[in-house]
Structure 1
Amino acid sequence: MSGTTADRKYVPAIVLTVALFFLWGMANNLNDILIAQFKKAFTLTDFQTSFVQQAFYMGYFLLAMPAALVTRAKGYKTAIVTGLVLYAAGALLFYPAAHYGEYLYFLAALFVIACGLAFLETSANPLMTELGDPTTAAKRLNWAQAANPVGTVAGVLIGKYFILSAIVHDEATVAAMSPAAREAFYRSEVVAVQTPYLVIGLVVLLFAVAAAVIRFPEHRAEETVGAPSRFVDVFRHPRLIFATVTQFFYVGAQVGIWSYTIRYAQANVPGMAEHDAADYLFASLVLFGIGRFAGTALMGKIAPPRLLAIFALVSAVLAAVAGLVGGQIGLYALVLASLFMSIQFPTIFALGMDGLGPLRRAGASLIIMAIIGGAVLTGLMGHISDLAGIDTAMLVPAVCFLVVLAFAVKAGRTLSGEELQPTIH
């Protein structure tokens, strides 16, 4: 069978898999909107709002390895259908959660969504390389990856126009309301998330049905990922361990910055509504996407470790400006940091994988589990914000980027020269 015929054979599967990149990008960045919405609806502290990301990334952390094992044992179709059903179930759970108005119920729903996304992310990247001619695999994967930032932007826009309200009520105004009016106000803010997530859940469920009937490559038995001997072996690679630690700090910085961008904007621009503050998050994601393309192009001229070091240093400086200067300047610095965050996750991943050979799968699983940093460090930032203010909390990402800088410098000295294989996040 020719390469062209093979690609045509799997066109429906390719289209659906590209859509998966969009869907998990959307889910990830809707969380940043939910943090702002729940803070107002449930009168939460910044630390309490971080439970959104803690519940979400705990789902990723706990299901990453089981998802990989299911993919290898049962094939891509089973993993994708399972992931989509869990994603849809979690989104649909927002409806009863809003009805009962309990924050804990929303956290449980987000955990279920993240469990589904763990299955989708584990299977989608390798699947794209098998959907057709191997000589066009890189092209297909690049197209799929391009859908991810589109999804992140879509998530913010959905949140801005369908969840966040343009109404600004300071604490004094809310306190002056009658008990009935105050209850109605909080209730309206909780219910605002109900319809968008109901629609998302139904759409994702349709994708699950489509995945169940679409033809995927036949399942082939492969060696078990994550076998104990493999994990013992990967711990003999110091750079992989350093990369895993670094990824923990990087993901914590990225998730923390985006989680609190709306909060930071409101704190530094008095009177700004969440609806308007979301524009700064939108700008951050656009710059992040631009940085991805620009950074990839620059890697043709600048060695990846050196470029990573430059971007990490600039990110650290910008986060420090946000933490120490504040105001409109600090807000602009925080938004601009996303431009330089863009290449860090895939570059850390690729440098950590360099030289692993047959241990690449086990090594990849280890690095991916480091995204739990998004839960831990976002919680730390929320706690610091409650104690010393949101500006001071932005010093946490500044320190995280210095860890990335140290890794980049170290990796540049020991790079084996094996071709780097980036991934998407």
Structure 2
Amino acid sequence: MENTSRSATVAPDAAHNGRGNTAPLVIVTILFFMWGLLTSLNDVLIPHLKGIYTLSYVQAMLVQFCFFGAYLIVSLPAGMLIRRIGYQRGAVTGLVVAAVGCALFYPAAESGYGLFLFAFFILASGITVLQVAANPYVTVLGDPRTASSRLTLTQAFNSLGTTVAPALGGMLILSGSVLGADQLAKLPVAEQLAYHAKEAAAVQGPYLVLAGALLLLAVLFALARLPKLVDAEDGAPTGKFSDLFAHKHLVLGTIGIFLYVGGEVSIGSFLINYMGEPQIAGMAPAQAAHYVSLYWGGAMVGRFIGFAVMRTVSPGKALAFNAACSIALIMVAIFAQGQVAMWAILAVGLCNSIMFPTIFSMALHGLGRQTGQASGLLCMAIVGGALVPFAQGALADSSGVQVSFFVPAVCYAFILYFGVRYANLHRQ
């Protein structure tokens, strides 16, 4: 998942001279990797928990609802917290809260699905605080002239985290032999309970390790000598929040972010179940998890391709092209079967690569002093990752997993419209 940053500057009495920034930058880069990994692990846990608790697809999508719902609920309080305690302490707080969320997976495995959902919300709340606090350090830990390259580097490590997480989760969490609901129903009650306990316990070890890693990062971040950041305030009026809705391209961009994040997350959430369908690949969850890594890895590779292409192609055209390709690939995934359908849906990850930053930048175009407020509005739209999977889950329950991919196709159709409309406006 991509990250956004608050507007901050180095305090005049705390500016670094460029020396001694390597260690802090390494720590910040690891943070980007960790929250990419934690976010993408959901794609492994959703089918795992669905099998343990015999959930419907809508019930299973409560994982994403609790996780991405935190972005909507926690973002504004996180900003107020950072202003009160500072950026460095805020990052440490976010790491500790995220560690608590990971640790809660241990009792959740012995309790039930409700505590798992609470753990997901706490984990995501910590990541939200962490993103608000840690992003600005990327721009100030070194020469301002190379800030963009540093941001590219850290974003690459975030993508690396989302890429390795499904494969890693598949090896550590998913069982090679998962019982279906019919098979499970044939077992005696005692064996069913033992099976549920064994499968639920599979998450305990990996998430305790993640909790320990986050606490270690919190200690390192607390001890690191970092520049003191202050919010950029020049006293200039920014206007009312309601004034933002007068900018049509911002309104459309906000809807675009909502639908893009929703579509991307929804596809990732259903990939393991999709590849387990007999007419697609009939894969076991542990095997399918490795292919989910290709979906997220495609986004990482596509960013480098997009960086080169968009030097000569306008953002609107590039966005429209990628959205059109996504729709075409999803249609293949819906109507085809076998390897063709499987590779078509995985290739959507490659098309996703440029979408978030492109929509974000187009939506903020020409907003001047309202950019900060508009950025906050766009960040809140990330809640699409909580709601769109519900729609796909409902369609999957009623019509099947393969047909349910019409939901992200509709999301990309709006993004195609936004890209074409932006390109037309740009030529005027």
**TM norm structure 2:** 0.92
C-alpha distance in 1 between matches for 2:203 and 2:357: 32
Q: How does 1:293-332 map to 2 (within 5 A)?
A: 293-332=304-343
C-alpha distance in 2 between matches for 1:324 and 1:162: 33
Q: Alignment partner of 1:329: what SS?
A: helix
Q: Alignment partner of 1:408: what SS?
A: helix
Q: Structure 1 residue 291: deviation in Å?
A: 0.9
C-alpha distance in 2 between matches for 1:6 and 1:140: 16
Q: Does 1:147 align with 2:157?
A: yes
Deviations for 1:342-376, whole angstroms, at most 9, x for unmatched residues?
A: 11111000111111112111111101111111111
Q: What code does the residue aligned with 1:142 have?
A: T
The answer (yes or no) to whether the contact 2:280–2:337 under 8 Å persists in 1 is: no
C-alpha distance in 2 between matches for 1:410 and 1:73: 41
The answer (yes or no) to whether the contact 1:63–1:118 under 8 Å persists in 2 is: yes
Q: Structure 1 residue 413: deviation in Å?
A: 2.2
66-75 or 227-236: which moved more? 227-236
245-254 or 74-83: which moved more? 74-83
Q: Does 1:205 align with 2:211?
A: no
Number of the residue aligned with 2:169: 159
C-alpha distance in 2 between matches for 1:157 and 1:348: 29
Q: Does 1:339 align with 2:350?
A: yes
Q: How does 1:413-424 map to 2 (within 5 A)?
A: 413-415=424-426
Sequence identity of aligned pairs in percent? 37
Q: What code does the residue aligned with 1:41 have?
A: I
Change over 3 Å in CA distance of 1:169–1:348 after alignment to 2: same
Q: Does 1:266 align with 2:255?
A: no
Q: Structure 1 residue 271: deviation in Å?
A: 4.4
Number of the residue aligned with 2:249: 239
Q: Alignment partner of 1:44: what SS?
A: coil
Q: Structure 1 residue 191: deviation in Å?
A: 0.6
C-alpha distance in 2 between matches for 1:357 and 1:416: 20
Q: Structure 1 residue 236: deviation in Å?
A: 2.3
Q: Does 1:218 align with 2:236?
A: no
Q: Structure 1 residue 73: deviation in Å?
A: 4.2
Q: Alignment partner of 2:18: what SS?
A: helix
Number of the residue aligned with 2:389: 378
Q: What code does the residue aligned with 1:364 have?
A: S
Q: Structure 1 residue 410: deviation in Å?
A: 1.1
265-274 or 338-347: which moved more? 265-274
C-alpha distance in 1 between matches for 2:118 and 2:140: 34
Q: Structure 1 residue 71: deviation in Å?
A: 2.9
C-alpha distance in 2 between matches for 1:264 and 1:358: 45
Q: Structure 1 residue 95: deviation in Å?
A: 0.8
Deviations for 1:371-401, whole angstroms, at most 9, x for unmatched residues?
A: 1111111011011100000111100111110
Q: What code does the residue aligned with 1:336 have?
A: A
Q: Structure 1 residue 113: deviation in Å?
A: 0.7
Across the aligned residues of Structure 1 and Structure 2, the Cα RMSD in angstroms comes to: 2.1
Gaps spanning 5+ residues in structure 1: where?
Answer: 418-425
The answer (yes or no) to whether the contact 2:58–2:393 under 8 Å persists in 1 is: yes
Q: How does 1:26-41 map to 2 (within 5 A)?
A: 26-41=37-52
Q: Structure 1 residue 218: deviation in Å?
A: 1.5
278-287 or 377-386: which moved more? 278-287
C-alpha distance in 2 between matches for 1:87 and 1:79: 12
Q: Structure 1 residue 213: deviation in Å?
A: 1.4
The answer (yes or no) to whether the contact 2:238–2:369 under 8 Å persists in 1 is: no
Query: Which of 397, 412, 421 is matched with 2:423 structurally?
Result: 412
The answer (yes or no) to whether the contact 2:303–2:354 under 8 Å persists in 1 is: yes
C-alpha distance in 1 between matches for 2:16 and 2:86: 22
Query: Which of 15, 19, 23 is matched with 1:12 structurally?
Result: 23
Number of the residue aligned with 1:134: 144
Number of the residue aligned with 1:89: 100
C-alpha distance in 1 between matches for 2:232 and 2:83: 6
Deviations for 1:172-209, whole angstroms, at most 9, x for unmatched residues?
A: 33222222222111111111001100110011011111
The answer (yes or no) to whether the contact 1:322–1:329 under 8 Å persists in 2 is: yes
Deviations for 1:217-238, whole angstroms, at most 9, x for unmatched residues?
A: 113354499x994423322211
Q: Alignment partner of 1:151: what SS?
A: helix
The answer (yes or no) to whether the contact 1:73–1:221 under 8 Å persists in 2 is: no
Q: Alignment partner of 1:380: what SS?
A: helix
C-alpha distance in 2 between matches for 1:230 and 1:289: 37
Gaps spanning 5+ residues in structure 2: where?
Answer: 1-11
Q: Structure 1 residue 215: deviation in Å?
A: 1.6
Q: Alignment partner of 2:323: what SS?
A: helix
C-alpha distance in 2 between matches for 1:167 and 1:259: 20
The answer (yes or no) to whether the contact 1:16–1:211 under 8 Å persists in 2 is: yes
The answer (yes or no) to whether the contact 1:168–1:272 under 8 Å persists in 2 is: no
Number of the residue aligned with 2:206: 196
Query: Which of 286, 291, 315 is matched with 1:280 structurally?
Result: 291
Q: Alignment partner of 1:212: what SS?
A: helix
Q: Does 1:111 align with 2:121?
A: yes
Q: Does 1:292 align with 2:303?
A: yes
The answer (yes or no) to whether the contact 1:98–1:190 under 8 Å persists in 2 is: yes
Q: Alignment partner of 2:184: what SS?
A: helix
Q: What code does the residue aligned with 2:248 have?
A: P
Q: Structure 1 residue 332: deviation in Å?
A: 1.5
Q: What code does the residue aligned with 2:29 have?
A: V
Change over 3 Å in CA distance of 1:405–1:211 after alignment to 2: same
Q: Structure 1 residue 5: deviation in Å?
A: 7.2
Number of the residue aligned with 1:400: 411
The answer (yes or no) to whether the contact 2:54–2:181 under 8 Å persists in 1 is: no
Number of the residue aligned with 2:7: none
Query: Which of 51, 67, 80 is matched with 1:69 structurally?
Result: 80
Q: Alignment partner of 1:220: what SS?
A: strand
Deviations for 1:19-67, whole angstroms, at most 9, x for unmatched residues?
A: 1110110011000001010011111111111000000001111111222
Q: Structure 1 residue 416: deviation in Å?
A: 9.0
